[in-house]
Structure 1
Amino acid sequence: MKKIGVTTTVPIEILIAADYEVVDLNNIFVTSEDYSKYIDIAERKGFPKSCCAWKKGMYGVCVEHEIKELVGVTEGDCSNTKALEEVLDMQGVKIYPFAYPHGRKLEDVKRSLDNFMDMFDVNLSDVEKIRKRLNKARAKARKLDELTFINNKVSGFENHLYQVSCSDFNSNVDKFEEELREKIEEIEKRSPIDKKIRLGYIGVPPMTCDIYDYVENFDAHFVYNEVQREFAFPRADKAENIYEQYYDYTYPYDIKFRLKDIKKQIKERKIDGIIHYTQAFCYRQIEDIVMKKQLDIPVLNVEGDKLNFLDARTKLRLEAFLDMLLDLKKFQK
């Protein structure tokens, strides 16, 4: 089976229908025990220090793992992807561009997906068969999410890990679905997590995954991971076809559309405070202004860069934020 890399969540149904094994470069990069080597590869090639660590990491993964074909999202994700594609194309990697339409009109989404199908010579019927298969695995990810915020039995990190992995299903949907099934069986036997503060995480998935365990030291528990949940397509079962599914995908579209679902989840999950994670040198940092203005609960912005663990300053800020949330809960009572 041919292997193809992706720079973020793309219409994976089309790639699998075209008989590709899909590899999300982000997942290899951030889960590696020696993740910094991928950044070093990029910086030795000439990537600037002021470039996003994720982009450098993806470049390093592509080179180290000899990825010969790549889907790069040129609209609806990172503004640096186009330059990354140009560098990789120069080195012989075959690039397939994909763009989420800026205006988020259904007819534009349909046109973009049809062009992508034509690019890989697959038809809608084949793609829909794959979509139905993947949605069975996504249903299990949705069940795990419900066990997180309804039953309080799933840690924030587990919620993050299994949902973010739906971007490529760890390159093997059958194996991944079975792993999810076994995990859910184990989780259902647990006692509920008893924490006073219910947190939401919004923004891109973190470099600093230890944030999930760290907050638990302060009587807090993440019950919502915004973008990771979107990678798992929680509303895919309600979509009539692939066009509606990707039309309803919040991450690549405007911030107003994202905020509508974030507000809904805050209310449904009874969230006390939000951690808004942004990556250094990313244009999405500016969105924090809108988030703090539009959300009616406390929001703390946490910025990550090249480290895959929280630094002392960020830990201190998190501790102060969580102390404030505890005081607010006492005051409200």
Structure 2
Amino acid sequence: MKKIGITTTVPIEVLIAAGYEVIDLKNIFITSEDYGKYIDIAEKEGFPKSCCAWQKGTYGVCIHHNIKEIVGVTEGDCSNTKAVEEVLSMHGVNIYPFAYPHTHKLEDIKRSLDSFMDMFGVKLEEVEEVRKRLNRTRALVRKLDELTFEANKVSGFENHLYHVSSSDFNTNVEKFEEEIINKIEEIEKRKPINKKIRLGFIGIPPMTCDIYDYVSDFDAHFVYNEIQREFAFPRGYKAENIYEQYYDYTYPYDIKFRLAEVKKQIEDRRIDGIIHYTQAFCYRQIEDIVIKNELEVPVLNIEGDKLNFLDARTKLRLEAFLDMILDMKKFNKQ
């Protein structure tokens, strides 16, 4: 089967309909035991120290694993993507462009998706058949999410892992579906996680995944992973077609559209505080100003770079933030 790399969530339905095995380069990068080697490949090529580690890592994965075709998102993702694609093209990688229009108008999204389908020679009917198939798998991820915030039986990391894996279904939909079915059966037998603080994680998926275990030492539990959840299209089953599905996908569009869904989830999941994760040298750091102004719960912004574990300073900030939330909860009960 032909292989194609992606660097963020794209219309995977089109790629599967075209007969591709889809590989999320970011997932390979962050799950590698020696993830640093991919960053080294990029820096030896000349990537600056001030470039995002995610971009360098995905570039290194593409080169190391000899991926010859990738989908490049030209609108709605990292501002460095275009330059990375130009370097990859220099190495003979074939780039297929896709755009999430900044206008966020349904007719513009339809035009972008139609162009993408034409590029791969597939028809809407074929794509819709794949979408229906994937909706069954995505429903299982939605079930796992419900077990996270309603039954309190799923750890924040497990919730993160299965949602973020939905970008490419670990390259094999059937195998992924079998795995999550078995996982849900195991989860349903667990006792609930009893923590006093209910946290939400917003922003891009973290390099520092140990944050999920770390907060549990301070009586806290993540019950929401914003962008990771969007990778699984939690509202996609309500969409009439693929156009509506990608119109409703919050990540690539403006911050106010994203925050409307975040606010809803804060209320539904009874969230006490938000961790807003940003990557060093990323424009999304500026969005923290809007986020703190718009949300009515406490927000802590933490920044990641090359490390895949929390540094001492971030741990201290997290501890102080969680202590403050506990104090607020005690005060409000009085």
Partner of residue 23, structure 1: 23
AA aligned opposite 1:253? Y
Q: 1: CA distance between counterparts of 2:246 and 2:177?
A: 21
Match of 2:54 in 1: 54
> Secondary structure of the residue that 1:218 maps to in structure 2?
coil
| C-alpha separation in 2, matches of 1:74 and 1:313 | 35
Question: What amino acid maps onto 2:163 in structure 1?
Answer: Q
Q: How far 1:183 sits from its partner (Å)?
A: 0.2
Alignment partner, residue 179 of structure 1: 179
After the TM superposition, which residues 1-333 of structure 1 pair with which residues of structure 2 at under 5 Å, given as runs? Answer: 1-333=1-333
Extract unaligned runs of 5+ from structure 1.
Answer: none
Amino acid corresponding to residue 327 of structure 2 in structure 1: D
Q: Runs of 4 or more off by more than 2 Å in structure 1?
A: none
Pairwise CA distance, 1:158: 0.2
Could you tell me which runs of 5 or more consecutive residues in structure 2 were left unpaired when the two chains were aligned.
Answer: none
Q: Which amino acid aligns with 1:206?
A: P
Q: TM-score, normalised by structure 2?
A: 0.99
Q: What is the alpha-carbon distance in structure 2 between the residues aligned to residue 59 and residue 125 of structure 1? A: 34
d(CA) in 2 for partners of 1:98 and 1:78?
A: 13
**Structure 2 counterpart of 1:107, which letter?**
E
User: AA paired with 1:282?
Assistant: C
C-alpha displacement of 1:36: 0.3
Aligned residues: 333
**CA distance in structure 1 between the aligned counterparts of 2:219 and 2:77, rounded to whole angstroms:** 34
| SS of 1:152 mapped into structure 2 | coil
Deviation at 1:320, TM superposition (A): 0.3
Within 1, Cα distance between the matches of 2:58 and 2:75?
17
Superposition deviation, residue 74 in structure 1: 1.2
Partner Cα distance (2:198, 2:140) in 1: 23
Counterpart CA distance in 2 for 1:74 and 1:314 is 33
Alpha-carbon separation, structure 2, partners of 1:147 and 1:273:
20
**Normalising by the residue count of structure 1, what TM-score does the alignment of the two structures yield?**
1.00
Cα distance in structure 1, aligned partners of 2:280 and 2:74: 19
Alpha-carbon deviations, 1:78-128, whole Å to 9, x = none?
000000000000110000011101011000010000000000000000000
Q: CA deviation at 1:173?
A: 0.3
**Alpha-carbon distance between aligned partners in 2 of 1:263 and 1:214, rounded to the nearest angstrom:** 25
Report sequence identity in percent. 80
Q: Post-superposition shift, 1:223?
A: 0.1
Structure 2 Cα separation of the partners of residues 129 and 186 of structure 1: 30
Which secondary structure does the structure 2 equivalent of 1:71 belong to? strand
**Superposed CA RMSD:** 0.4
String of CA shifts for 1:287-318, please: whole Å, max 9, x gaps: 00000000011000000000000000000000
